[in-house]
Amino acid sequence: MMQENEIRERIEQVKKKIEEAAKKSGRNAEDITLIAVTKTVEVPAILQALQCGIKAVGENRVQELCRKHQQIEHDVDWHLIGHLQTNKIKQVLPFANLIHSVDSLHLLDALEKEALTQNRDVKILLQVNVSGEESKFGISPNQAMNFAECVAGKQKIQLCGLMTVPPPVAQPYENKPYFAKLKQLAFQIEQEHYQHVNMDILSMGMSGDYTAAIEEGATMVRVGTSIFGARIYAANQQ
């Protein structure tokens, strides 16, 4: 396991790059939320990151979010960033402050139903497949407006912005067109002034391209390996 001073140094490096990218785009680093992605990362390393100033933690799997939430007593801003199955909604709603990965009207309807049952307001992002990759989850950009319109008819759902996962690239700038497309889509949705819909959040950019994402308007970046090192998968996590 990585030592605390190494995690601290990595976090400081990430924050420095965030500050530089924000300055380059005429923004303040304080306006960008760093989400530490803890896929395959165990609790001791997460605790070290929290001690080093991390406040927001992103998990890919519902069962991992629930497990780590139970083991970590700190006040943590928990985010679900991975694909959400409808049969896991009941488990995750009490713990996730923001669900980044809502990608269908079917899932939206299921979230609303369970949110009404639990009498809980739910904040979500719409995951958009801006690159059009068949292997990626996410709604197509031309369906996003209809999705936002459907949110306006819900009682317990608040659509807070958009999320995307672009292709892996050799250089961060190669993904700038995808980030720019997501920002433009958010602007178009914002102009419609739908009830229960705002576009305050653009969740885009990971360890390989978060600086480029910030330059194109990201307000949240999801960074895992740049903080915790390369992922080590257990046999059941492949």
pLDDT in tens, the chain (238 residues): 566 689 999 999 999 999 999 999 999 999 999 999 999 999 999 999 999 999 999 999 999 999 999 999 888 999 999 999 999 999 999 999 999 999 999 999 999 999 999 999 999 999 999 998 888 899 999 999 999 999 999 999 999 999 999 988 889 899 999 999 999 999 999 999 999 999 999 999 999 999 999 999 999 999 999 999 886 655 444 4
Can you name the residues that pair with 35 across neighbouring β-strands? 56, 222
Dihedral (CA of 75, 151, 101, 186) sign: negative
Kind and range of the H or E element at 201?
Answer: strand 197-203
Look at the chain and count its residues.
238
User: What is the value of pTM for the model shown?
Assistant: 0.94
